[in-house]
Chains A and B, each alone.
Chain A
Amino acid sequence: SSVAQNKDEL
């Protein structure tokens, strides 16, 4: 499954 686009902000 496509992992959620990595969020680089908190």
Chain B
Amino acid sequence: MNIFRLFGDLSHLAAIAILLLKIWKTRSCAGVSGKTQLLFAVCFITRYIDLFLHFVSLYNTEKVMKLIYISASVFTCYLIFFKFKATYDGNHDSMRAEFLIVPAAGLACLINTKFDAIEILWTFSIYLEAVAILPQLFLISKTGEAETITSHYLFAQGSYRALYILNWIYRYHYESHVDTIAIVAGVVQTILYCDFFYLYITKVVKGQKIVLPA
């Protein structure tokens, strides 16, 4: 474990917590893409499938973190699609998730470390995570604005994988550890946040709200 991965995971936890708090406190999921949250839930389940296969006692924080990620993301989907369904902005959350899932699954079968079920599920989860935020960014571009709390969620979510890139640089340099698939997908994922990061740093940090030219 290094500082970058630690802060990456903390940033990821913060993102999940911020979103849950926003929906729970405002009792509304306006401005939140349910599709992105579904894709994240799929990512966690396919990536941590080993938790279900050979369940081992919760003997370390890693297992606990995996269970937190899976349960929090499923609970978030429950809030969006069931509890606060009336506030779900389905009209603007219109990016076709199939256009993300099918290519990720196809690519996972073509480019992977080992052609076995668990490895392909893990690779699928990595590729899917890289593009899972797109419906959320698409929704913001359609509505033309993002609530400040949603901007904080996106900033934490984007920072998590950006910090992982620093973690991979660190591990390459000190542990000569390289996972090309995770690195390439992580770089693509972080690049997708670039224009949002620019807006966040130039606006939200100064107390303004993000409003896109509609």
Contacts and interface: CB of A to CB of B under 8 A. Distances in A.
Interface in A1-10: 1-5, 7-10
B201 interface: no
Contacts of A7: 47, 122
Interface residues of B, number: 19
Nearest to A7: B122
Looking at chain A's contact residues, the main secondary structure is loop
Contacts, number: 27
A8 B177 CA distance: 11
Interface in B43-92: 47, 50, 62, 65-66, 69
Nearest to A1: B116
A8 to B, nearest CB: 8
Nearest to A4: B118
A1 B115 CA distance: 12
Contacts of B65: 10
Contacts of A9: 5, 164, 167, 179, 182
Interface string B7-22: 0010010000000000
Contacts of B179: 9
Contact of A10 (B9, B50, B118): B9
Contacts of B62: 8, 10
A5 B7 CA distance: 24
Interface of B: 5, 9, 12, 47, 50, 62, 65-66, 69, 113-114, 116, 118-119, 122, 164, 167, 179, 182
Interface of A: 1-5, 7-10
